[in-house]
Amino acid sequence: MDTKNCLWLSCLVTLAAILLSFVVFIKKKTRNTSLASLNNSSLSISPPVGWNYEVFLSFRGQDTRKTFTDYLYNDLVDAEIRTFRDNNELRIGKKIGDELLKAIQHSKISIPIFSKDYASSKWCLLEVTKMVECKRTSGQIIKPIFYNVEPSDMRKQKGSYEKAFREHKKHFDSATVEGWKKALREVGELKGWEVKNVADG
């Protein structure tokens, strides 16, 4: 294995470790809060509506499915973190769109992996829009990963993101496209991880 591949693998391992630490922390925090609520009858906090997953992974398959996303997914599963990604959880015969949106709604944490061509997928844009909705209505945590893409390019829809939206405007109404762009900007402002910074660090 050459030096470049060794550095890249080190980057993936480091980022996966950071993500695992974060998810495990949230998992323990949620569990402790639930136990405290049960042990203190004076608390009137209602538990969150049935979570089916602890993590939802959103990604463009052609960009990262067999590389970064696969590595991260397997690490999360090995750590006994209930994780959703479409090719593992969707059942044959179900409407893919409905199942994806339900999975997001019933996840504690959403992790969108923003790659170069993420915005070219209407499904990815529907997913990130649903994440923003769940963040507002149920306090879902969103932790974005910027995979070989500049966060500013995503927020301002420059470069490949600008190109993707030019294409979407040919097939979807302006309100739909503007809604997708707004959701991307909002998530792009959140604190997340940039793969290149993890490698440099």
61 touches 117 (CB < 8 A): no
Q: H helices within the chain, ranges in order?
A: 3-39, 61-64, 68-78, 86-89, 96-105, 122-138, 151-155, 160-168, 174-188, 195-200
CA distance 201 to 177: 36
The catalytically annotated residue of 80, 127, 178, 194 is: 127
Specify whether 127 is catalytic.
yes
Q: How far apart are CA 117 and CA 63, in angstroms?
A: 7
Cite the active site residues: 127
